[in-house]
Structure 1
Amino acid sequence: MEKVISTDGTPIAYDRLGEGPAVVLVCGGSVDRLSNAPLAALLAQYYTVYNYDRRGRGDSGDAEVYAIEREFEDLDAIFAVAGGSAHLYGTSSGAALALLATAAGRPVNRLALWEPPYIIEGTRERPPADTASIYRDFIAAGRRDKAAEYFMAEVVGLPAEFVASAKASPWWPAQEAIAHTLAYDATVMGDYSVPEEAIKAIHQPTQVLTGGAAWPWMTRGNEKVVELLEDGSHVVLADQQHNVDPAVLAPALKEFWS
């Protein structure tokens, strides 16, 4: 593990693996860089992989006030140690962050997005527009457990029995530990609508990857993103759910980045 200092002084931790063209991995909500570690290990056979902890997670620092622009600056710091530019991969809400960062002019060579969770009107109910405030209120009240539970049940839409079993699992304390970052991902997602203007500002080759067993609303949202891209493609990975198998995903990314 190494660290780089972001523009506002926040230390950002990352693992560097392999040799070859630079690749940066962005994790999604309720997880840290460990969630991308198996994928990073597979990609390291062909690339120099930079797998980093987004601010507020894992071994990275944080700031008192959150803004999406600070996450862009964190990526700037990672791109700098990667040699100035890189391929970029993001998963779930991390895919939305990667998309927005690319649209804002970050030095991305090729952009790959795994199931950005945008919601097309009428395909499912969207989370409340003030979701970030809901999380912040839970955290301020000392109820990290409620923030994590709200994310799983009300935002992701997981069944009540799954949430109950999750709360009794050995990994639940880790969910509570980074529960404050749920507000960060909610800020990135906004009202969960497709960010059309941002997508139209992306000129790099971009691939959206979706699981063959994805929720129908997820598939439709991903298709809409591809429709709006200047140079976009859509790949469906058979039988994959949102928690994609790295052994299936890695070859698809290699083919695209090659």
Structure 2
Amino acid sequence: MTDIHTVTSRDGTAIGYRQLGQGPGLVILHGAMESSQSHIQLAEALSPTFTVYLPDRRGRGQSGPYGSPFTIQTEVDDLSALLAKTAASNILGVSSGAIIALQACLQLPTIQRAAIFEPPLGIDRDSATQSLERYDAEMANGKTSAALVTAMRATEMGPPIFKYVPRWLLEQLTTMAMAHEGSSSPSPQSPDDSNSTTTPANMRALAPTLHYDFQISLSMSDDEAISNLSKVTTEVLLIGGSKSPTYLRSGLDRLEKVLPNINKRVVFAGLGHGATGNSDRRGQPALVAEELRGFFGE
């Protein structure tokens, strides 16, 4: 049984979240192009042992808009409000959600354990800024497929063959994929979102949120920001996939050198950046849940 709730963040924005299971509280903070539904199978696998909370980050599901000004602190405040309401002390952060989780560990002593999955750390700032500018221009001109391709190439998402596929063809394939999704996927802020179980909001609806995920990655794009993570005292589990892009695996290497309280690092053989997600998105939720139970249950 999944319940839908909301909590009010510091700036008055409503943050929606799903709740299921029983036991100690565990928050799963999703990454880019995802919503609370993206990890529902992982939550179900963990639900016999934990009360799992799946928030929709801003701009998605039951949550309010990003607002202005927006910084990573905005998302830390959202997470803080959820932790205060639920008394949860465990968190899994995925991709850009992992950057938010790390920043939260610096500020929120109530977080006792954090599992960190492939945060996009230390990206090339100039390249990422150029990609963001191009993405913003394409979105402003209604070229959603082109903007998604720009983001996909910048983050090295998609099969390796995508590096060799002409851009015009990638845009055409993306347009076809969005058309295929059609109205079967919920929009990011649909009133009927609570009726959906495993289907994340569709690509077209989630595309505008990428601007903010770029911002979050850029906030952790220099050596000083990463060095500052040496102040994190939370016990940390580092997680990654053997098939993920090199820069994501390198990011975990950097965390191994700077975080003072690492429990261990786990690499899932044969899995990529979607490892924690639902099985229809190339995830292995049962495998990930087994590792998380060991860490959070100790």
Q: Same fold (TM over 0.5)?
A: yes
**Structure 2 vs 1, CA of residues 132 and 15 (structure 1 numbering), >3 Å: closer, same or farther?**
same
Cα distance in 1 between the residues matched to 2:74 and 2:58: 9
**Structure 2 vs 1, CA of residues 162 and 225 (structure 1 numbering), >3 Å: closer, same or farther?**
farther
Structure 2 residues not aligned, in runs of 5+ = 184-201, 276-283
SS of equivalent residue, structure 2 residue 128: coil
Residue identity in the other structure for 2:77? E
Checking the alignment, whether the CA contact within 8 Å between 2:95 and 2:120 is kept in structure 1 is yes
- 1:92, CA displacement in angstroms? 1.2
Checking the alignment, whether the CA contact within 8 Å between 2:15 and 2:56 is kept in structure 1 is yes
Residue identity in the other structure for 2:295? F
Checking the alignment, whether the CA contact within 8 Å between 1:16 and 1:49 is kept in structure 2 is yes
- 1:163, CA displacement in angstroms? 6.0
SS of equivalent residue, structure 2 residue 239: strand
**Structure 2 vs 1, CA of residues 131 and 5 (structure 1 numbering), >3 Å: closer, same or farther?**
farther
Tell me which moved more, 111-120 or 37-46.
111-120
Cα distance in 1 between the residues matched to 2:232 and 2:44: 28
Checking the alignment, whether the CA contact within 8 Å between 1:120 and 1:220 is kept in structure 2 is no
Structure 1 residues not aligned, in runs of 5+ = none
Count of residue correspondences: 254
Cα distance in 2 between the residues matched to 1:118 and 1:168: 32
Structure 2 length normalisation: TM-score? 0.77
Alignment correspondent of 2:175: 167
Cα distance in 2 between the residues matched to 1:106 and 1:163: 45
**Structure 2 vs 1, CA of residues 175 and 127 (structure 1 numbering), >3 Å: closer, same or farther?**
farther
Cα distance in 2 between the residues matched to 1:67 and 1:106: 21
- 1:132, CA displacement in angstroms? 4.1
Residue identity in the other structure for 1:253? L
**Structure 2 vs 1, CA of residues 236 and 155 (structure 1 numbering), >3 Å: closer, same or farther?**
closer
Aligned match for 2:265, one of 222, 229, 234: 234
Structure 1 length normalisation: TM-score? 0.88
SS of equivalent residue, structure 1 residue 167: helix
Cα distance in 1 between the residues matched to 2:175 and 2:28: 28
Cα distance in 1 between the residues matched to 2:289 and 2:99: 19
**Structure 2 vs 1, CA of residues 141 and 203 (structure 1 numbering), >3 Å: closer, same or farther?**
same
Aligned match for 1:249, one of 288, 293, 298: 288
What are the superposed Cα offsets for residues 136-195 of structure 1, whole Å, 9 maximum, x if unpaired?
Answer: 333333333332221112332541466653431234882121222111111111164563
Aligned match for 2:20, one of 17, 34, 45: 17
Checking the alignment, whether the CA contact within 8 Å between 2:80 and 2:108 is kept in structure 1 is no
SS of equivalent residue, structure 1 residue 128: helix
Aligned-CA RMSD value: 2.4
